[in-house]
Amino acid sequence: MNPVLYIQIWEKRIRAVDILTGDTFDEKPIVALETNSKGLVTIKAVGYKATVMSGNAISIINPFSHERTLLSDFTLAERLLRYIFQKLHKGKLLRTSPTVVIHPMEKLEGGLTMIEDRAFRELALSAGARETVLYLGDQLPTHDFDLEKVKALDIKK
């Protein structure tokens, strides 16, 4: 079976659950970036660990914090999702691309614009997802998760 990740995004929290294994990543969506002397930018820490880092070459950024929309920095959000995918599949011999259900949890007044819809879908795909489903609504149960039912609720339909 291919992995299915259910990712809920708030401005101050990101929660990803591997539906098949129950493995969970639940942290602040804060990223500490370090720029080396050659200009190469690397992720040094994520979540709480990122909030306590400091230094001249360290930047602390939340890619899901903007006053009007939930997604503020596409490139960094993509890197954060890629980090989460790797964290959830660490130690597994075969890493197949997951199906990802993206569930924005706030800043949804009036629904999503076509641009936000596309940005969330492409965010997961560019981070390594095989397929993306964009879901709006009540929190989905992870113990009785039915991907086909969730696909039927995808907002693109």
* Every domain of the chain and the residues it spans: 4-29+64-152
pLDDT at 5: 96
With cut-offs at 50, 70 and 90, classify the pLDDT of residue 156: confident
Between these two residues, 95 and 122, which has the higher pLDDT value? Answer: 122
The mean per-residue pLDDT over the stretch 3-29 comes to: 95
Dihedral of alpha carbons 67, 70, 73, 79, sign:
positive
With cut-offs at 50, 70 and 90, classify the pLDDT of residue 12: very high
The mean per-residue pLDDT over the stretch 44-63 comes to: 87
The mean per-residue pLDDT over the stretch 117-121 comes to: 95
pLDDT at 121: 95
| Spatial distance between the Cα atoms of 51 and 72, rounded to a whole number of angstroms | 18
> Strands 99-104 and 4-9: what pairing?
parallel
Model confidence at 101: pLDDT above 90: yes
With cut-offs at 50, 70 and 90, classify the pLDDT of residue 83: very high
Cβ burial, residue 29 (10 Å; 0-12/13-18/19+)? buried
Model confidence at 38: pLDDT above 70: yes
- 3.40.50.1980, 3.40.50.150, 3.90.1150.10, 3.30.420.40: CATH of 4-29+64-152: 3.30.420.40
pTM > 0.95: yes or no: no
pLDDT at 55: 76
Closest CA to 7 of 116, 99, 73, 76: 99
